[in-house]
Amino acid sequence: MSWSFLLDRATLVASSLIALLTLKYVKAYRTRSKPDAIPTVGPDGILSSYYTIWRYLFHGCELIEEGCRKYPGRAFKIPTLDGWQVVVNGPKLIDDIRRAPEKELSNLEAIEDLLKASYTISPALHNNPYHIEVIRTLLTRNIVPRFDDLRDEIVAAFNDNIPVKDHAVEAVHNIVVRTSNRMLVGLPLCRDPDYCDLNINFTVSVAISSALISLFPEALHPIVGRIFTKREHFFGRAMKHLGPIIEERLKMQQEYGKEWPDKPNDYISWLIDLMEYAAEDWQKGLVEDWVLRVLAVNFAAIHTTSMSFTHALYHLAANPHLAGPLREEVATTVGTKGWSKAAMRHVGAGPVGMVRVTKKDFRLTDGSLVPAGTKVAAASYHVHYDDTYPAPDDFNAARFAKLRDMEGEGVKHQVVTPTLDWVNFGTGKHACPGRFFAVNELKAMLAHVLMKYDVKFKDDAGFPPSMVFAGSISPNQAAKVMFRRRSA
């Protein structure tokens, strides 16, 4: 096969992709109502705005920061491949998002749009997201009763993955998937190598597939959704692991009732407990649905917790002088002073958060009218780096510990408490339902690292640059962290 043929073919593929992207953006530009009265960051012409789109893809934090400086306390808009996105800046406008009901600003539709969940996971998650309430109530309620199990899995997972064989990110994924699944599915499945590999790769697949689908016009999503996703493959693997377990628990519940002897206290049991009986005619459909819910919760747990823990681990490796004071704190009480909040503030998940889709025309308190079908988001990165914080660009591990020590400020500055100036977990009724579990898991893992290991970057490298793409901030994938077990 000649090089010229390969080049011609590559040129054809590239040209086709450019044509599709152009078609997609032009259609989005024309069909979605343009919020003309809201100021724009960068050029806003039908072709010139491509420059701004490129900036957002690779320099999103700088672009959003530019908008926040130019329009303090106001809304502004940026062009994206999906059309216009309105960004709100300041506590008053963030409160507009917090207070708006789902029928006006939809959180579920924004999640569907971001993850393309109907193609990457299942449309059932959007149509009936009952698993969210299970996480919000039963998972949160069982953190204390199950904490010894969580702690046991953290110790075992670190022993099996430290020292790190290659990059720190891979070890973190392995530790997080095991720790999270100790609560979700219990022993011995949470330690099964194929089950852990399945969930890690499913998480990566959803992130990549949703990004690829987003590059194409919406009319082509049903087609490219089948091409770029491996949903059936992952579901089949998950069914082999989870199907027999769920069916056995249904059988036990039918035979002995809801409180059968030695019933596991985990996410699978909580899903089953939502049903008062298990008739054979719909049992098969329920088993498949519950397997999907386990996969979906694994995506959320692995993706967000792994990123947060990796960022915090990098801060610890880059600032070894912090280990001593933090160990003293852990020895007294495991991570209740807010030091993990400082690491999460310093990085976050992206330049914007609390994304919603307007279900109808929506007016903000600054007078801006956002047309129906427009994405609205909060400038979370700017909020966390606001000048109200002393030296906001500096990493200060004790920042929130000092704030919590002030009279009457203790509860406000807990990492799980969503406020208008702390939006990593969102705020209002749509604040992350699993944040209590995630924070306890993060603190327990960090406490274990502090008490058992000294950590530093290989070759004494500094904090590695994060990966920023399309509004997402991810930890550096190539960084190598060295662990040395402490003698005492």
Length of the chain: 488
Structure tokens at 443: 């603190």
Give yes or no for a contact between 372 and 358, defined as CB atoms under 8 angstroms apart. yes
Distance from C-alpha of 59 to C-alpha of 80, rounded to nearest angstrom:
13
Structure tokens at 93: 């406008």
Closest by Cα among 346, 473, 461, 333 to 397: 346
DSSP one-letter code for 465:
P
The DSSP result for 348-386, as a single string, is -S-S-EEEEEESS-EE-TTS-EEPTT-EEEE-HHHHHT-
Distance from C-alpha of 27 to C-alpha of 25, rounded to nearest angstrom:
5
Evaluate the omega torsion of the peptide bond into residue 222 and state whether it is cis, within 30 degrees of 0: no
Q: Is 42 left (phi over 0), alpha (psi -120 to 50) or beta?
A: left
Q: Is 322 left (phi over 0), alpha (psi -120 to 50) or beta?
A: alpha
Task: Say if residue 196 carries a ligand binding annotation.
Answer: no
- Let me know if 257 is exposed, middle or buried by CB neighbors in 10 A (0-12, 13-18, 19+): exposed
Those residues with Cβ within 8 angstroms of residue 256's Cβ, 6 or more apart along the chain or in another chain: none
DSSP one-letter code for 192:
-
Give yes or no for a contact between 349 and 371, defined as CB atoms under 8 angstroms apart. no
Those residues with Cβ within 8 angstroms of residue 159's Cβ, 6 or more apart along the chain or in another chain: none
Closest by Cα among 176, 160, 460, 150 to 312: 176
Q: Which residues are annotated as a binding site for heme?
A: 432
Q: Which residues are annotated as a binding site?
A: 432
